[in-house]
Amino acid sequence: MKSGWLETTVTIDSVDSRGNPILLKNIPAVKYKDTEKIRVDPFAVSRAEIKYYTDEKGLLERDAALLFLICAKPGVFKEGEIHYKYHLNKMLFYYWKNLEKRHLGEAFPHDDFKKEKRGPVPLHIDEDLKRLQEEGLVELSYHQWGQSEKQSSLKIELTEKGMAVTKEIWSSVEDIFYLEAIETKELIFPLSPNTVKEKVHREFPEYQLTYMEEDLD
């Protein structure tokens, strides 16, 4: 931190995208020690707003992106489901990167991503899906479509409760966040594991050395 600035937090009276009042608490900020003037990062306000909505539902901030992508309707396909976990892994990655292209990468909470042989994978994806299943928001089911263990896939669906919770949060955020979720799902949903692998290699070469296997979950 630059000399003269002190870390602090602020509370902001705001409204959601529908005009409903919301109180955003404990937003990280900095205060200049000589003038007492406070500076707030607008991205921190945006993240605090998402936290406000997820806290109301007993969720983590990063759950919003996950739920949005499961919920989104990709073109003619059905809303509320993803047929392969590899789709969700890469959708979460591309959702973050596509928002980043709009200079909004840090305006919406996202998981950290680790480099694996399968390419970029959300750090907490397995525990998050298990937790959301236990909370009755998603249903997880494995489908064996071949002989080997790798020839199976995890189908992820929103429950009726999960759909209601997601759409309530969905309706409160700025349009860009749910529209980008739809665009990202439409981009990745129809692609095969090999096509996704080639796409990540081409567009994010920093992952190429570690991306050796197709993500088939």
Task: Give dist(CA 55, CA 60) in Å, integer.
Answer: 7
Beta-carbon count within 10 A of 20 CB: 9
pTM for the model stands at: 0.88
β partners of residue 10: 27
Contact 208, 201 (CB under 8 A): yes
Sequence-ordered list of residues with C-beta below 8 angstroms from that of 118, at least 6 positions apart, any chain: 86, 89, 211, 213, 214, 215
Task: Please report where in the chains the tokens 């064996």 appear, as a residue.
Answer: 144
* pLDDT at residue 147, rounded to an integer: 62
Q: Both tokens of residue 158?
A: 């929103």
* Cα dihedral across residues 97, 16, 73, 145: positive or negative: positive
* pLDDT at residue 53, rounded to an integer: 96
Task: Give dist(CA 129, CA 188) in Å, integer.
Answer: 19
β partners of residue 122: 113
pLDDT tens track, the chain, 217 positions: 567 899 999 999 998 888 889 999 999 999 998 898 999 999 999 999 999 999 999 999 999 999 999 999 999 999 999 998 989 999 999 999 999 999 999 999 999 998 877 778 899 999 999 999 999 999 999 876 666 666 667 899 999 999 999 999 999 999 999 999 999 999 999 998 788 878 887 888 776 555 455 555 5
Q: Is 30 left (phi over 0), alpha (psi -120 to 50) or beta?
A: beta
27's enclosing H/E stretch is strand 21-32
Nearest to 164 by CA among 80, 81, 92: 80
Phi and psi, residue 104, nearest 5°: -125, 20
Task: Give dist(CA 75, CA 14) in Å, integer.
Answer: 34
* pLDDT at residue 211, rounded to an integer: 46
